[in-house]
């Protein structure tokens, strides 16, 4: 054996066993969180003292356990995981009972509620009749909890299955999955004639990502009138929204006067571009609209605040009122918006928008016919 062969063997051992260790940790983490969710739901539905704790159950559980990483927010996530993925029951039971250390530690009293959980039994039986549902074995073995946590937030089961399939096919990281959900990949797929081609393009772009790369009432943008195309990319979507948003706001009624698109702003020696600028003749102020094909991020509020300050200093006339900023995002967390906009211009408004949803039947057919 020469030195290069030694390096190759050591590298193979490291990569293989490290991957196996990571997979084992992921299975244990998913099992732990699902089981905790199962017991929380079981107590809420059948517990002898459930009336005593009521809505304070999770908070009291956090206080009593006093364990780092186990708090009220996490318990809500675990409960949601169990309610969304009841079909994982058999996989998790099998995992528990095949592990010597786990099996000897847990008593029959522990596993009995899981085996006879009514919620899991009913929902899992319903899922078995859906050809487009991802098998429980693949969900358990291919998607770690970091992925299931994001996907379980999606209420639409078809949409969930779509992201489950694509995440498995592309071996996405949790960050990449979050990015694809925020970029409306599911909706874009529904608008694309060639779904496989779009999927291939998305997967290719995902593999090229580097680690460093690594929304009050929703506004439904059904007026976009997007024509079916072979592929609908993020740029196509942004272009269509911007093209039609002008007409949408103008048709909203009185007062909106279109002024500029991609308004160029020079600050020091750098150029910035505001997506859409209107003047409202009744309010007597400028309205700056920023569109993001992404979920809300704190830097977006800062950017819009900068535009408002610029307009106050350089554009506003003596008889004008202060400008208004509207930030449109695909998703927004109310708490993050609250903290990110605190202390900024009070005329900044963050809204969530949605485009018209695709046909669920088409997506189900796509999932059922795909290899993943």
The full set of domain ranges for the chain reads 1-128, 219-355
Alpha-carbon gap, residue 242 to 355, rounded angstroms: 13
Alpha-carbon gap, residue 263 to 256, rounded angstroms: 16
Alpha-carbon gap, residue 200 to 341, rounded angstroms: 38
303 burial (CB, 10 Å; 0-12 / 13-18 / 19+) is: middle
Most confident of 108-112, 189-193, 226-230: 189-193
**Predicted confidence (pLDDT) at residue 221 exceeds the cutoff of 60:** no
Contact 242, 223 (CB under 8 A): no
In sequence order, what are the residues at sequence separation of 6 or more whose Cβ sits closer than 8 angstroms to the Cβ of residue 40?
Answer: 57, 58, 61, 75, 78, 79, 82
Residue 356: count other Cβ atoms within 10 Å of its Cβ: 14
In sequence order, what are the residues at sequence separation of 6 or more whose Cβ sits closer than 8 angstroms to the Cβ of residue 262?
Answer: 273, 274, 275
Tell me what pLDDT residue 329 has. 84
Q: How confident is the model over 4-31, as a mean pLDDT?
A: 80
Q: 310: pLDDT confidence band, cut at 50, 70 and 90?
A: very high
Q: Phi and psi at residue 235, in whole multiples of 5°?
A: -65, -40
Tell me, what DSSP letter sits at residue 319?
A: T
Tell me what pLDDT residue 82 has. 93
Q: What is the largest CA-CA distance in the chain?
A: 85
Tell me what pLDDT residue 133 has. 81
Q: Phi and psi at residue 256, in whole multiples of 5°?
A: -80, 120
**Residue 109 CA neighbour count, 13 Å, CB half:** 1
Residue 135: count other Cβ atoms within 10 Å of its Cβ: 13
For residues 297 and 242, the model is more confident at 297
User: Where do runs of H (alpha helix) occur along 194-289?
Assistant: 195-208, 234-251
Tell me what pLDDT residue 54 has. 65
> For domain 219-355, which CATH number applies: 3.40.50.10320, 1.10.260.40, 3.30.70.240, 3.40.1350.10?
3.40.1350.10
**Predicted confidence (pLDDT) at residue 93 exceeds the cutoff of 60:** yes
Least confident residue range of 3-17, 251-265, 354-368: 354-368
Q: How confident is the model over 251-277, as a mean pLDDT?
A: 81
Least confident residue range of 22-31, 105-114, 360-369: 105-114
Per-residue pLDDT tens digits for 26-47: 888 899 999 999 889 888 887 6
Contact 259, 249 (CB under 8 A): no
Q: 20: pLDDT confidence band, cut at 50, 70 and 90?
A: confident
Q: 3: pLDDT confidence band, cut at 50, 70 and 90?
A: confident
Tell me what pLDDT residue 333 has. 84
Least confident residue range of 94-98, 178-182, 204-208, 293-297: 204-208
**How much is the mean pLDDT over the chain?**
76
Alpha-carbon gap, residue 66 to 230, rounded angstroms: 54
**Predicted confidence (pLDDT) at residue 122 exceeds the cutoff of 50:** no
Q: 299: pLDDT confidence band, cut at 50, 70 and 90?
A: very high
For residues 235 and 68, the model is more confident at 68
User: Taking the mean position of all CA atoms in its chain, how far away is CA 258?
Assistant: 33
Tell me what pLDDT residue 295 has. 84
In sequence order, what are the residues at sequence separation of 6 or more whose Cβ sits closer than 8 angstroms to the Cβ of residue 149?
Answer: 77, 81, 174
Tell me what pLDDT residue 47 has. 60
Least confident residue range of 82-86, 222-226, 339-343: 222-226
Tell me what pLDDT residue 233 has. 57
Asked whether the CA dihedral 110, 112, 114, 119 is positive or negative, the reply is negative
**Predicted confidence (pLDDT) at residue 271 exceeds the cutoff of 80:** yes
Contacts of 203-207 with CB under 8 Å at 24 or more apart are 203/166, 203/169, 203/170, 206/170, 206/172, 206/176, 206/180, 207/170
For residues 274 and 129, the model is more confident at 274
Least confident residue range of 65-79, 212-226, 271-285: 212-226
Least confident residue range of 15-24, 98-107, 171-180, 253-262: 98-107
Least confident residue range of 69-83, 217-231, 258-272: 217-231
On whether the pTM is more than 0.75, the answer is: no
**Above pLDDT 70, what percent of the chain?**
68
**Predicted confidence (pLDDT) at residue 115 exceeds the cutoff of 80:** no
């Amino acid at each position: 054996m020469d030195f290069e062969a030694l390096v190759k063997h050591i590298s193979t051992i490291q990569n293989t066993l490290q991957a196996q260790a990571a997979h084992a940790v992921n299975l244990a983490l998913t099992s732990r969180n699902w089981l905790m969710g199962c017991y929380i739901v079981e107590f809420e539905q059948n517990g002898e003292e459930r009336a005593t704790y009521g809505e304070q159950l999770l908070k009291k559980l956090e206080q009593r356990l006093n364990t780092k990483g186990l708090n009220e927010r996490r318990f809500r996530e675990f409960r949601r995981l169990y309610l969304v993925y009841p079909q994982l029951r058999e996989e998790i039971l099998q995992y528990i009972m095949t592990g010597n250390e786990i099996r000897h530690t847990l008593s029959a009293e522990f596993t009995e509620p899981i085996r006879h959980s009514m919620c899991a039994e009913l929902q899992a039986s319903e899922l078995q009749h859906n050809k487009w549902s991802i098998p429980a074995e693949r969900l358990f073995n291919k998607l770690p909890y970091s992925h299931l946590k994001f996907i379980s937030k999606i209420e639409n089961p078809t949409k969930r299955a779509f992201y489950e399939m694509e995440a498995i096919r592309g071996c996405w990281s949790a960050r990449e999955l979050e990015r694809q959900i925020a970029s409306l990949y599911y909706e874009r797929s529904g608008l694309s004639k060639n779904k496989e081609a779009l999927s291939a393009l998305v997967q290719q772009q995902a593999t090229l990502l580097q680690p460093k790369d690594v929304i009050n009432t929703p506004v439904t943008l059904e007026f976009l009138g997007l024509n079916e195309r072979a592929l609908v990319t993020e740029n196509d979507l942004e272009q269509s929204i911007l093209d039609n948003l002008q007409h949408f706001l103008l048709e909203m009624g009185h007062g909106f006067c279109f002024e500029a698109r991609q308004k160029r702003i020079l600050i020091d020696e750098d150029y910035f571009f505001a997506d859409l600028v209107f003047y409202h003749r009744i309010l007597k102020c400028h309205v700056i609209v920023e569109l993001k094909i992404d979920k809300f991020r704190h830097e977006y509020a800062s950017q819009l605040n900068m535009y408002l300050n610029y307009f106050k200093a350089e554009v506003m006339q003596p008889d004008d009122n202060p400008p208004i900023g509207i930030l449109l995002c695909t998703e927004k967390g109310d708490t993050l918006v609250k903290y990110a906009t605190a202390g900024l211009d009070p005329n900044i408004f963050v809204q969530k928008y949605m485009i018209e949803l695709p046909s669920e039947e088409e997506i189900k057919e796509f999932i059922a016919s795909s290899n993943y």
